[in-house]
């Protein structure tokens, strides 16, 4: 469980996050939504522990900043793609913390092979990572996160660069983590997809949290429309599923 109290993050003179208070349940999928500049990515980095902050941000009762004992996987929106590294080597980086940098244990090799098969990357394991397509790269990132066997995974816009087919494919892979009792926190600009997959949705705007709660409750709330300045409409399909579309 992650408990956030009076969290404020300043970068230079700008306050990116302002006095946030939030509790995120374990073994759940929580999704941050909101317009650009709402502070979603900064909140993810704060939860990762790499971003300094004022206030308190505790993961299972322990303050997270610079705490390297936790095992948290991070999937960035714009990864730096290393040159001269094969897909296997890239996924193997997920084991670096356990095995030590530059060494590979037998279990790690077996796990990496299994994970490559699971994510559909087996067969291109010796290719250079730079040669993967957008969808394959996203799966490589998920594969690396899977072999990390994290307690918590943070995903920054995991589907933003993908077509709908690959979006669903990647989101289904992320759901594998949920079965393994991993806490999932992601940002997502597509609220319809967020509502389909996430258990909890947190609506953010200008560094503040407007609303948080169970996905179906949040999707139908007025605060969601307010966050997007009433420029969205929420429709409910016969199946009970919600679809969020911009006003025309």
The DSSP bridge pattern shows strands 29-33 and 14-24 to be unpaired
The residue (of 126 and 239) whose beta carbon lies closer to another protein is 126
**Residues lying near another protein in the complex (CB under 8 A):** 45, 48-50, 68, 72-74, 76, 78-80, 82-86, 88-89, 93-94, 96-97, 100-102, 126-128, 130-131, 148, 154
Sole residue written with tokens 């909890």:
200
Query: Is the Cβ of residue 129 or residue 195 nearer to another protein in the bound state?
Result: 129
In the complex with another protein, which residue's Cβ is closer, 24 or 203? Answer: 24
State in angstroms the smallest separation of the CB of 48 from another protein: 6
Cα–Cα dist 175/145, whole Å? 13
CA 37, chain centre distance (Å): 17
For another protein, which is the closer residue by CB, 148 or 200?
148
How far apart are the C-alpha atoms of 247 and 211, rounded to whole Å?
21
Which string of DSSP letters, residue by residue, matches 152-167? EEEEESTTTTS-HHHH
Residue 87 C-beta: closest distance to another protein, Å: 10
Query: Cβ of residue 43: shortest distance to another protein, in angstroms?
Result: 13
CA 57/CA 94 separation, integer angstroms? 25
**Minimum distance from CB of 52 to another protein (Å)?**
12
Token readout for 43 is 């909140």
Q: Within its chain, how far is the Cα of 70 from the centroid?
A: 16
- Using CA atoms, how far apart are residues 116 and 124, in angstroms rounded to an integer? 9
Q: How far is the CB of 12 from another protein (least distance, A)?
A: 10
Continuous segment of H or E residues that includes residue 17: strand 14-24
**Which residue's CB is nearer to another protein, number 83 or number 237?**
83
């Amino acid at each position: 469980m992650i408990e956030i109290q009076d969290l404020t993050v300043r970068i230079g003179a700008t306050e990116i996050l302002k006095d946030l208070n939030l509790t995120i349940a374990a073994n759940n999928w929580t999704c941050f939504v909101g317009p650009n500049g709402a502070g979603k990515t900064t909140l993810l980095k704060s939860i990762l522990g790499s971003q300094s902050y004022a206030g308190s941000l505790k993961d299972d009762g322990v303050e997270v900043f610079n705490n390297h004992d936790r095992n948290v996987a991070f999937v960035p929106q714009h990864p730096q793609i290393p040159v001269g590294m094969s897909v296997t080597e890239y996924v193997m980086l997920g084991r670096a913390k356990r095995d030590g940098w530059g060494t590979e244990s037998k279990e790690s090799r077996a796990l990496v092979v299994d994970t490559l098969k699971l994510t559909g990357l087996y067969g291109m394991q010796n290719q250079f990572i730079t040669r993967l397509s957008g969808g394959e790269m996203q799966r490589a990132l998920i594969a690396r996160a899977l072999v990390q066997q994290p307690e918590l995974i943070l995903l920054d816009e995991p589907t933003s660069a993908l077509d709908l087919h690959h979006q669903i494919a990647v989101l289904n892979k992320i759901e594998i983590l949920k079965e393994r009792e991993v806490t999932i926190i992601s940002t997502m600009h597509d609220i319809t997809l967020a509502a389909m997959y996430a258990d909890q949705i947190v609506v953010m705007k200008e560094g503040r949290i407007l609303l948080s709660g169970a996905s179906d409750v949040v999707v139908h709330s007025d605060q969601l429309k307010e966050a997007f300045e009433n420029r969205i409409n929420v429709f409910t399909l016969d199946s009970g599923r919600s679809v969020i579309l911009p006003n025309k």
